């Protein structure tokens, strides 16, 4: 798996074969983006908030070791058990160990991109532990044995007819049922029984507060809260980049997160855990898994500021039209196109090219990560390592040769303007010309921009 290379364009080609569905996917995400814009406009200090959030995150990254120690000290003082994991494997082993010590057989899990990243579920399942993803979208993809296709909207790529079919097979809902209300009600009943039976609850974490030693989880459905309030054991898995210094900093992030993610003024539930249920245990697993290496590299450092709101996915013209799976990674979209090649440039060489450099991702980012700049620079890194396919490398070489010589560039333009309209179709629209697929080339202008400009200047 690790050695197969991800060809985003090829994966996207499969997705866009169904034009109607591509359009539907695009519109569903644009709807969320539009809701986000309306919510953002209600906060006149939005840009200052983003700047503040970015500074808090950058400050925390600079002092991360100190804040992690402070967090552990404060959490331990409250009777919370803190664990440290350098790698995904270690994280999974720690979680498994805690569950075994408590004799836990059934786990209610709420949304956590970290446990997706660590591939926790299959490890627990191999050891005979039942893991139920309790977020509705995650449950849908879990029943379909698919990964999430979006970091906030895991089932955004699935139509209600397909959800109806999945629920018919697994939950016994009426055949052909497609009403979201009916299907959600069925899932509510099904998951209630899972909550009642669970021996432990596992959650991700949105923010970990160094000053108080507590963690904050933001959800709309309430699944995380039910999942950890019923059993005696709560395990919270947190990437070390989720630290924030002070409880007061939560004001900044809770104001940004839900507005930017889904256009809500705040998530329905913003839960602050500073201890277990009475008579229970709260375990917090702090996970590095390569984050300290990202922190060392100036080009990628700021991607550790990400608060996983998903806005860059919703706004990205490529993500919207190619779907989450085309990235073949836990985190897709613009932020995924930085994080994945940063870790494994050979495997994910194509992701920085799944981008038109429009910059919309950076514009909507609540912590002002310059995603478009990072993607552009990553292209340089990947080209430098010769990870691009030969055809693309040769084309780049040729383009660079031409563009370095203005006489040659002008001549090529002239020739193209002369020849293109006269060439037979098969010579222009063929396998070699990716730009000629699914679209007609624009009409060839009679004069170049330069010529027009010169002419205008003379007048």
Partner 1 sequence: MNSKQEILTALRRTRLPDVALPSVPDELTTYADPLAQFRQVVAAVGGQTFDVQGPAELAAALRQLDAYRAAANVWSLVPEVPSQGQRWQSADDPHALETLDFLVAPGQFAVAENGAVWITDDQVPDRAALFITQHLALVVPAREIVQNMHEAYQRISFDKARFGVFISGPSKTADIEQSLVIGAHGARSATVLLVH
Site for partner 1 in 386-415 (CB under 8 A): none
Q: Could you say which residues in the range 199-218 bind partner 1, by CB under 8 A?
A: 209, 212, 214
Q: Compute the distance between CA of residue 223 and CA of residue 110 in angstroms, rounded to an integer.
A: 6
Nearer Cβ to partner 1, position 265 or 384? 265
Q: Compute the distance between CA of residue 76 and CA of residue 70 in angstroms, rounded to an integer.
A: 10
Q: Could you say which residues in the range 264-283 bind partner 1, by CB under 8 A?
A: 264-278
Q: Compute the distance between CA of residue 217 and CA of residue 232 in angstroms, rounded to an integer.
A: 18
- Bridge partners (DSSP) of residue 84 are 286
Minimal distance in Å, beta carbon 222 to partner 1? 3
Q: Compute the distance between CA of residue 129 and CA of residue 154 in angstroms, rounded to an integer.
A: 23
345 binds partner 1 (CB under 8 A): no
Q: Which part of the chain contacts partner 1 (CB under 8 A), choosing from 97-105, 118-126, 149-157, 439-447?
A: 149-157
Q: Could you say which residues in the range 232-261 bind partner 1, by CB under 8 A?
A: 240, 245-248, 250-252, 254-255
159 binds partner 1 (CB under 8 A): yes
Q: Which of 172, 180, 389, 445 binds partner 1 (CB under 8 A)?
A: 180
Token pair 């919270």: residue: 236
Q: Compute the distance between CA of residue 260 and CA of residue 33 in angstroms, rounded to an integer.
A: 8
Minimal distance in Å, beta carbon 92 to partner 1? 13
Pairing of strands 214-219, 207-209: antiparallel
Nearer Cβ to partner 1, position 99 or 250? 250
Binding-site residue total for partner 1 (CB under 8 A)? 95
Nearer Cβ to partner 1, position 74 or 337? 74
Minimal distance in Å, beta carbon 151 to partner 1? 13
Nearer Cβ to partner 1, position 187 or 354? 187
Minimal distance in Å, beta carbon 240 to partner 1? 7
Residues 117, 122, 127, 133, Cα dihedral to 10°: 90
Q: Could you say which residues in the range 430-449 bind partner 1, by CB under 8 A?
A: none
DSSP helix/strand/coil, 253: helix
Q: Which of 20, 296, 440, 443 binds partner 1 (CB under 8 A)?
A: 296
Pairing of strands 233-239, 281-287: parallel
Q: Which part of the chain contacts partner 1 (CB under 8 A), choosing from 5-13, 190-198, 336-344, 349-357?
A: 190-198
φ and ψ of 108, to 5 deg: -100, 120
Minimal distance in Å, beta carbon 401 to partner 1? 39
Q: Which of 5, 23, 77, 188 binds partner 1 (CB under 8 A)?
A: 188
Apex 441 CA angle, 436 and 444, nearest 5:
145
Q: Could you say which residues in the range 46-105 bind partner 1, by CB under 8 A?
A: 48-49, 51-52, 55-56, 58-59, 61-65, 68-69, 72, 78, 84-86, 90
43 binds partner 1 (CB under 8 A): yes
Minimal distance in Å, beta carbon 2 to partner 1? 23
Pairing of strands 106-109, 281-287: unpaired
Q: Which of 124, 143, 183, 351 binds partner 1 (CB under 8 A)?
A: 183
DSSP 365-430: -TT---HHHHHHHHHHHHHHTT-S-HHHHHHHHHHHHHHT-HHHHHHHHHHHHHHGGGS-HHHHSS
- Rounded to a whole number of angstroms, the CA Rg of the chain reads 25
CA 323 vs CA 23, 157, 300, 409: distances in Å:
11, 7, 24, 37
Q: Which of 129, 156, 342, 371 binds partner 1 (CB under 8 A)?
A: 156
Q: Which part of the chain contacts partner 1 (CB under 8 A), choosing from 45-53, 350-358, 362-370, 408-416?
A: 45-53
134 binds partner 1 (CB under 8 A): yes
Question: Which are the contacts of 179, defined by CB distance < 8 A and separation ≥ 6?
Answer: 160
């Amino acid at each position: 798996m690790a050695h197969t290379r991800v060809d985003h364009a090829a994966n996207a080609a499969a997705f866009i074969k169904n034009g109607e569905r591509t359009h539907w996917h695009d519109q569903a995400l644009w709807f969320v983006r539009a809701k986000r814009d309306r919510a953002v406009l209600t906060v006149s200090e939005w840009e200052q908030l983003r700047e503040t959030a970015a500074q808090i995150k950058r400050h925390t990254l600079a002092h991360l070791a100190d804040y992690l120690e402070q967090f552990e000290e404060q959490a331990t003082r409250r009777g919370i058990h803190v664990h440290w994991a350098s790698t995904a494997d270690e994280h999974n082993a720690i979680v498994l160990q805690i569950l075994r010590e408590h004799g836990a057989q059934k786990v209610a899990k709420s949304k956590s991109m970290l446990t997706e990243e660590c591939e926790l579920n299959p490890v627990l399942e191999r050891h005979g532990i039942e893991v139920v993803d309790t977020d509705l979208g995650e449950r849908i993809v879990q029943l379909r044995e698919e990964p999430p296709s979006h970091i906030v909207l895991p089932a955004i790529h699935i139509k209600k007819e397909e959800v109806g079919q999945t629920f018919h097979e697994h939950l016994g809902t009426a055949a052909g049922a497609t009403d979201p209300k009916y299907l959600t009600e069925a899932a509510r009943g099904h998951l209630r029984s899972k909550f009642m039976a669970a021996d432990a609850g596992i959650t991700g974490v949105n923010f970990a507060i160094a000053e108080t030693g507590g963690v904050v989880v933001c959800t709309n459905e309430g699944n995380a809260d039910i999942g950890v309030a019923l059993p005696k054991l709560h395990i919270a898995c947190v990437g070390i980049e989720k630290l924030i210094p002070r409880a007061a900093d939560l004001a900044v992030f809770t104001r940004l997160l839900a507005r930017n993610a889904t256009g809500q003024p705040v998530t329905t539930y913003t839960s602050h855990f500073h201890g277990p249920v009475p008579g229970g245990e709260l375990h917090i697993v702090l996970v590095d898994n390569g984050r300290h290496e990202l922190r060392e590299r100036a080009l990628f450092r700021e991607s550790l500021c990400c608060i996983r709101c998903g806005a860059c996915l919703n706004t990205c013209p490529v993500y919207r039209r190619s779907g989450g799976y085309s990235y073949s990674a836990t985190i897709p979209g613009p932020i995924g196109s930085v994080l994945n090649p940063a870790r494994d440039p050979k495997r994910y060489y194509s992701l920085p090219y799944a981008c038109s450099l429009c910059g919309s991702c950076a514009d909507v980012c609540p912590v002002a990560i310059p995603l478009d700049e990072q993607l552009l620079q990553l292209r340089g890194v990947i080209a430098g390592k010769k990870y691009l396919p030969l055809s693309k490398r040769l084309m780049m070489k040729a383009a660079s040769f031409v563009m370095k010589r203005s006489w040659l560039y002008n001549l090529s333009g002239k020739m193209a303007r002369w020849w293109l309209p006269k060439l037979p179709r098969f010579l222009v629209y063929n396998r070699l010309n990716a730009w000629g697929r699914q679209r007609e080339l624009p009409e060839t202008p009679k004069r170049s921009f330069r010529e027009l400009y010169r002419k205008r200047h003379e007048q």
